[in-house]
Structure 1
Amino acid sequence: TDTMMLFTLDPISNTAGILSIPRDMWVNIPGYDYHKINQAYYFGELDKLPGGGPALAMETVKQFLGVDIQYYAQIDFNAFVRFIDEIKGVKIRVEEPITVVVMGTNRKITLEPGVVTLPGDIALAYARQRYTEGGDFDRARRQQQVVLAIRDRILSFDMLPTLITRAPVLYNELASGVRTNMSLEQVIRLAWLAQQIPEQNIKRAVIGTDAVEFGTSPDGLDILIPIPDRIRLIRDEIFTSGGPVGPVALAEDPASLMQAEAARVSVQNGSGTDGLAGQTATWLRDQGFNVVDESNADQFYNVTTFFVYNGKPYTLRYLTTLMDIQNPRVYNRYDPNAPYDIAVVVGSDWAASNPMP
């Protein structure tokens, strides 16, 4: 995955958000332990998981940021170039001299400061160039710049009606380079809605150097280790549009974070003590958890264990804190079709000692 951006759009508040995620971010990929975040797509394709690479990439980002994700659009380089050429290039304000190499050639072009209109191949080179002082972080900002330049080009020349008229033809031409779980009708509706959002209502951010630590993976790769509290503040600044719980409260209140995730929790009795699942489920409901299942586990458990089927990191953390589990035993079992997001299997340790009244 060369580039990862998370977009949200709120039609009620008429706002949108764009967050760029560095591809070297070191995260837990459900079912695969810790890797760079851009490996999620690769693993999903390699192992032919349900939904393939896009589904695992979506779930990984969802678990990493705690933002629910419904749709994806995967666009390859050729489709990117072809679409920009269709709209007659994009207008970019270059802030400082930058030399780019057109993909597939040895052609080098130096862009000087000022406003320039770039054709598709040079716009791609500009968006992909990573050998600048800020490296991938600068590159992410340029990528957002290009995305908004595409939007501005379409709006300034009132191209959207023409593009929509040509949408079936364009869709067929670009189909080999675009992969999405949205229908053409949904794409058109989304485009029509997005163009109505004023630019000042589009919040943008890059997860940058102040939200990560630089590190090295066990196999010697350069990685970015996230600082969770700082990343959560960035996320809330970009994606929280209002309501009774604002970004600062979300950042500080674990119960609010848990409730915002609305995770479905199963409580299963692996202790051998009759009625313990029901008693635990009632106690957790009193604490605000959405317990949707009470049942017996498939085997005896000495140690209380957590199985995560869909990424709900704040719910998991609040559960383990509330239950006073010092070294929680957690297993990722990614399954988008599971009837619950987290299963808590209470073991004999919980039966012997717990904080319930």
Structure 2
Amino acid sequence: MNPPSGAAFPPVMNPPSGAAYPPVMNPPSGAAYPPVMNPPSGAAYPPVMNPPSGAAYFNQGYSQNPVYRNGPPSMSPPTGGRSPFKKPGRKRRFPIWARVLVAALALFIVISGSLYAYYQANYANSINNITGHQAVHHVNIETTDSHGNKQNQTTSNDILSGKRINILLLGSDNDGKGGNNGIGGSPLAQTDIVITIDPTTHYVGMLSIPRDLRVTIPGHGSGKMDFAFSYGFQLGGKDFTNSVTNGAGLAEDTIAYNFGIHIDYYAWVGLSGFVKVIDTAGGVDVDVIHPMVDDNYPDDVNKTGNTVYDYKRVYIAPGPQHLNGVQALEYVRTRHSDLVGDFGRSARQQQILSQLKTKLATPDTINKAPDLLKDLQDALKTDLTVSNMIAMGNFARSLDTNNIDRITLGPPTFASSIANTTDYAPICAPIRDQIAKMFDVQSKCIPQADASTGAAVAQVTNSQPNLALTTAPQAQASLATSLQAVTNETTERWQYVDPKEATHTILNLMLASVFGDITALE
């Protein structure tokens, strides 16, 4: 480094004149220098540590900073406390995936709650008003199978689990015929059909008991079969459902007492329900093969007469026809206007059944499912559950309809006219044989009158042998059994079922009851 041009060097500083230099300091006399410390013999000198060259000298610690023998002191905060130099951080947030999961769960709960509320409002109430209503029995009648074993009520939720079951299909007016409006009167059962199913062998039989067949009605003596439901209905008071369950119970008791057939389940349909369903669905289209004329059609729906047994004239023109509910019912029920008798009636029923099922499968009608169920709330009652009906529908689809046994206890084989009446008397010998074969039971038949003279048999009282009124202990046992059955049914009824499947299943049961045909359950 040369000084800048023109700059003068600082003057040479000489000691002041006359000043003496400091004296030379010699060691004291006799003092010895400290001994020279040589390393022990054989000890190696430590290696010479040369600092790194260049800027690395300062970067690697060879600076004027303090030197620590054991490294710099630790800067960790005291145990159990926060470092005074550390600022408090922000609260830790949930990860995004957790927030998304919580939001999705909340949305699912809201949607599920809405769907549940919709199901309860539009389906559940109607379904519960229709299903699970146990028949009420007032007498204790024992029946036995062909092996002498007592027949008991089926209690399994799987009704097709192996035991033979018998189901009573009841169809009646419920529109106020002759004061029999279901409130102040008592409807008559025009249809009493017992379906027997053996799940093991896939045997199915259908026994139709004519409404005019004279039978012994427990507690009421001899009368027409249609009055069994009517007498029981009167015991239910003004509660409609209770009246139906009492009517069904007495109808079951009458069948058990007269023919030895134990009934496991029942289904009752008011014919007005069929009319409402057809109208709600918008009617049905059929091709009428020939003119339908019936001057003896029972006037029991939207009636014009005032007595119990009013009749009216029915006429349906041939060709393509659009039928409303009343017309469709007349078309399938009329017995006196078909050129081929009951075969023609069965064909008409299948025709309406096919058209109605096609109509019920359309989107417009499916959307009316809540309305269809509401139509049936007071027109269809059963002790079956929806799952029972679904199981029966699946079973019906596996059947060969040509192998279903169908018997009607009417003239000339199974009944004969009673003089001076419109009643029929049972011909017991063939009835006992047929029932024993069809139901695998120890059948019986109660004679009612002499066909030639019309003389009625003696009135049957409650003290007649084989017919015991329910005593207190029996009533308690019956009540306990009924409560257990109701508990089982209630538990199942609260289970969620697909609304559309439930609607179709219930409609199929209605059709089976109206037509008296198990194949309607398919």
TM-score, length basis structure 1: 0.55
Distance change (3 Å), C-alpha of 1:182 and 1:63: same
**Structure 2 residue identity aligned to 1:6:** V
Shift of 1:118: 5.4
**Aligned partner of 1:6 among 163, 171, 194:** 194
For residue 52 of structure 1, give the secondary structure of its aligned residue in structure 2: helix
Counterparts of 1:91-240 in structure 2, within 5 Å, are 97-99=292-294, 103-104=301-302, 108-112=314-318, 119-131=324-336, 145=347, 148-149=350-351, 152=354, 159=361, 170-210=372-412, 211-216=414-419, 221-236=421-436, 239-240=438-439
Structure 2 unaligned spans of 5+: 1-188, 305-311, 446-462, 479-522
Classify 1:233/1:157 alpha carbon distance in 2 versus 1 (closer, same or farther; 3 Å).
Answer: farther
Q: Equivalent residue of 1:31, what SS?
A: coil
3-state secondary structure, aligned to 2:384: coil
How many angstroms apart in 1 are the aligned matches of 2:464 and 2:337? 43
Within the alignment, does 1:69 sit opposite 2:269 as a pair?
no
- Report the Cα offset of residue 179 of structure 1: 1.6
Cα drift, residue 125 of structure 1:
0.9
- More helix, by proportion: 1
Please give the alpha-carbon distance, in whole angstroms, between the structure 1 residues aligned to 2:196 and 2:282.
24
Task: Assess, with a 3 A threshold, how the Cα gap between structure 1 residues 198 and 313 changes in structure 2: closer, same or farther.
Answer: closer
Deviations 1:211-248 (A, max 9, x none): 112114xxx642100011222344356x35xxxxxxxx
Partner of 2:497: none
Structure 1 residues 232 and 82: CA distance shift in structure 2, 3 A: farther
Distance change >3 Å, CA 96–CA 207, structure 1 → 2:
farther
Is the 2:277–2:375 Cα contact (8 Å) retained in structure 1?
A: no
Aligned length: 252
* Pairing partner for 1:330 from 465, 478, 484: 465
Please identify which structure carries the higher strand content.
1
Contact persistence 1:5–1:19 (CA under 8 A): yes
CA shift in 2, pair 1:200/1:158, >3 Å = farther
| Within-5 A mapping of 1:72-83 | 72-83=266-277
Q: 2-side partners of 1:191 and 1:163: how far apart?
A: 21
Q: Structure 1 residues 123-132 or 33-42, which shifts more?
A: 123-132
Amino acid at match of 1:14: H
Counterpart of 2:208?
20
SS of alignment partner, residue 13 of structure 1: coil
> What is the identity, as a one-letter code, of the residue corresponding to 2:218?
P
Q: 1:148 Cα deviation (Å)?
A: 4.5
Identical positions, percent: 24
Distance, in Å, in 2 between the alignment partners of 1:79 and 1:120 is: 9
Unaligned runs of 5+ residues in structure 1 are 241-256, 262-311, 315-327, 341-357
Q: Does 1:57 align with 2:240?
A: no
Superposed CA RMSD in Å reads 4.5
Counterpart of 1:4 in 2: which secondary structure? Answer: strand
Equivalent residue of 2:190, what SS? coil
TM-score by length of 2: 0.39
Q: How far apart are residue 94 of structure 1 and its match? A: 5.5
CA distance in 2: counterparts of 1:22 and 1:236, whole angstroms:
19
TM-aligned CA distance change 1:205 to 1:74, over 3 Å: same
SS in 2 for 1:2: strand
Q: What secondary structure sits across from 1:173 in the alignment? A: helix
Partner SS for 2:268: strand
Structure exhibiting the larger radius of gyration computed from Cα positions: 2
Change (3 A) 1:166 1:157: closer
1:9/1:169 Cα in 2 relative to 1: closer, same or farther (>3 Å)?
farther
Pair 40,31 (structure 1): closer, same or farther in 2 beyond 3 Å: same
Amino acid across the alignment from 1:64 = N
- Matched-pair contact (CA < 8 Å) for 2:332–2:349: no
Instruction: Give me the whole-angstrom Cα distance separating, in 1, the residues matched to 2:385 and 2:365.
Output: 16
Verify: 1:34 aligned to 2:237, yes or no: no
Deviation at 1:48, TM superposition (A): 3.6
What is the Cα deviation at residue 89 of structure 1? Answer: 3.5
CA contact (8 A) 2:432 2:444 kept: no
CA distance in 2, matches of 1:6, 1:93: 30
- For the residue of structure 2 that corresponds to 1:39, the secondary structure is helix
